[in-house]
Chain A
Amino acid sequence: MVTEQYWFIFLNAALINNFVLSSFLGICPFLGVSGKISTASRMGAAVAFVMLIASLSAYAIHQALVALNAEYLQLISYIVVIASAVQLVEMVIKKFSPALFRALGIFLPLITTNCAILGLALFQTNRHYDFFQSLSFALGAGAGFTIALVVMAGIREELQLSSVPDVLKGAGITLMVAGILSMAFMGFAGLGGNG
């Protein structure tokens, strides 16, 4: 596990075990903000960015907690750090690029309760990734989340033009489409083993 190539970790998180479609992380934004491609891609970019920061800080915290022999604080410290990282990112973006800040809007603070971020931090700790492995894992997860969100948004934009049976309207048809997408992503399993 430890000797895995960085590229493979990246591909694994992005496609083979896609965070959204096969690990079920970040389903809420996946169902909630996948209505339009433009918002979906922005949301994806914001999540990918926070993932990167969260992954690096989670790595540092884990080292500190192991040194202090206080691993039971893991969950609490991760969630606090993610919440403050989101806050920090929000402030930095607001300062340096007000245009981007306005574009992301409400999505930024909502990222705190996105389970993809905490899941990423927990997975990389459970799998004992070193610094660079964590980095490629975070990049892959962010890419995978964005891909899933944008593909889903594309399908839903088309879906608005087609006639859906009344009983399936809304969440029902979205879940069915997600199921088919998830089956399609299973095809990527041929790229390598499951990690």
Chain B
Amino acid sequence: MSEERIQSEKMAIFLKGLWKENPVFVMLLGMCPTLAVTNSVTNALVMGVATMAVLTLSNILVSSLRKLIPAQVRIATYILIIATFVTVADYAIKAASLEVHKALGAFIALIVVNCIILGRAEAFASKNSVGKAALDGLGMGLGFTFALFLLGAVREVLGNGSFLGMPLFGERFQPVTLMILPGGAFFVLGAYLLLFNWLKKRKAEKEEEKIVFFTGEESI
């Protein structure tokens, strides 16, 4: 019984990053890479996976050192830990594909100052066990990757007429170039926020209707 509860608690830690506390759409953290590297699906995915790796590893290390790090210098320590893993990720991507590394440019190094990672280290990893911190890092990282993928997919399909580099439409497709330019990033993210707000509102309205319906029946 209690084991089941632990299991479901772990699941909840993992899942909350995906949707309920999605770092990009709900908490509006890590905006810089979200907007800058989502001009194609490949870039978005590489960036998402790199961030997820750094997030998980730094969460694990911060969590396992949480009793050793003095409170006064904790932020500096977190930043050093994160910077170490980002350097590793930077060199790993460079070794795997020079082309992608060039496309992402300085934004891989800029994972260091991604507020999501420092935020999770401070808010979650420094207070929880290693296993939970790892799950939290994976969940948040997946949520971030998912958000980047959604943005990248819209921008690449509309702005370049392709998906993962493969052309989708015939010769006659006229791409909306604005979508892969900086302005498009703001518009697409704004549109997603609009969509999610609308969904949330509709859900709330439906629930309200339900309550009205129930109370109405009772009075009869």
Which residue of B33, B106, B178 contacts A183 across the interface (Cβ within 8 Å)? B178
What is the number of residues of chain A that contact chain B, defined by CB distance less than 8 Å? Answer: 39
- Say whether chain A's binding surface is mostly helix, strand, loop, or mixed: helix
Q: Is the CB of B190 within 8 A of A79?
A: no
Q: Which of A28, A75, A179 contacts B190 (CB 8 A)?
A: A179
Taking the closest CB of chain B, its distance from the CB of A173, in whole angstroms, is 8
B24-40 interface bits toward A, Cβ cutoff 8 Å, 1 = contact, 0 = none = 00001101110110000
Cβ distance A189 to chain B, nearest Cβ, rounded Å: 10
- Chain B residues 95 to 112 lying within 8 A of chain A, measured CB to CB, are 105-106, 109-110, 112
B76 within 8 A of A: yes
Flag whether B156 is at the interface (Cβ < 8 A). Answer: no
Query: Contacts A167-B198, A175-B193; is A182 near B80 (CB within 8 Å)?
Result: no
Q: Contact between A126 and B106 (Cβ–Cβ < 8 Å)?
A: yes
A119–B197 CB distance below 8 A: no
Interface segment among A17-25, A43-51, A100-108, A135-143: the answer is A17-25
Residues 52-82 (chain A) with a chain B CB within 8 angstroms: 72, 75-76, 79-80
A121 to chain B, nearest CB (A): 9
Contact with B along A144-180 (1 / 0, CB 8 A): 0000000000000000000000111101111110111
Chain B residues with CB under 8 Å of A39's CB are none
Q: Are A168 and B197 in contact (CB under 8 A)?
A: yes
Contact of B87 among A22, A75, A178 (CB under 8 A): A75
Bound-state CA distance A174–B114 (Å) is: 20
CA distance A126 to B110 in the complex (A): 13
Q: Interface residues of B: mostly helix, strand, loop or mixed?
A: helix
Task: Give CA–CA (A83, B190) in the complex, Å.
Answer: 32
Contact between chains at A118 and B109 (CB < 8 Å) = yes
B106 lies within 8 A of A123 (CB): yes
Q: Is the CB of A176 within 8 A of B112?
A: no
A163: min CB distance to chain B, Å? 16
When the two chains form their complex, are residues A171 and B84 in contact, meaning their CB atoms are under 8 A apart? Answer: no
A24-B32, A114-B113 known; A179+B106 contact, CB < 8 A: no
Given contacts A26-B32, A28-B32, A175-B186, contact A122 B194 (CB under 8 A): no
Whether A119 contacts B182 by the Cβ 8 Å rule is no
A27 touching B197, Cβ below 8 Å:
no
Q: Does chain B have a CB within 8 A of A115?
A: yes
B189 within 8 A of A: yes
Within 174-200 of B, Cβ neighbours of A (below 8 Å) are at: 178, 181-187, 189-190, 193-194, 197-198
Question: With A75-B83, A172-B193, A175-B189 known to touch, is A182 a contact of B182 (CB < 8 Å)?
Answer: yes
Known: A79-B79, A183-B183. A167 touches B32 (CB 8 A): no
Cβ-defined contact, B90 with A179, below 8 A: no
Alpha-carbon distance between A34 and B161 when the two chains are bound, in angstroms: 35
Residues of B near any A CB (own CB < 8 A): 28-29, 31-33, 35-36, 76, 79-80, 83-84, 86-87, 90-91, 105-106, 109-110, 112-115, 118, 178, 181-187, 189-190, 193-194, 197-198, 201
| For the complex of A and B, 5 pairs with smallest distance between CB atoms | A179-B186, A175-B190, A24-B36, A27-B31, A182-B183
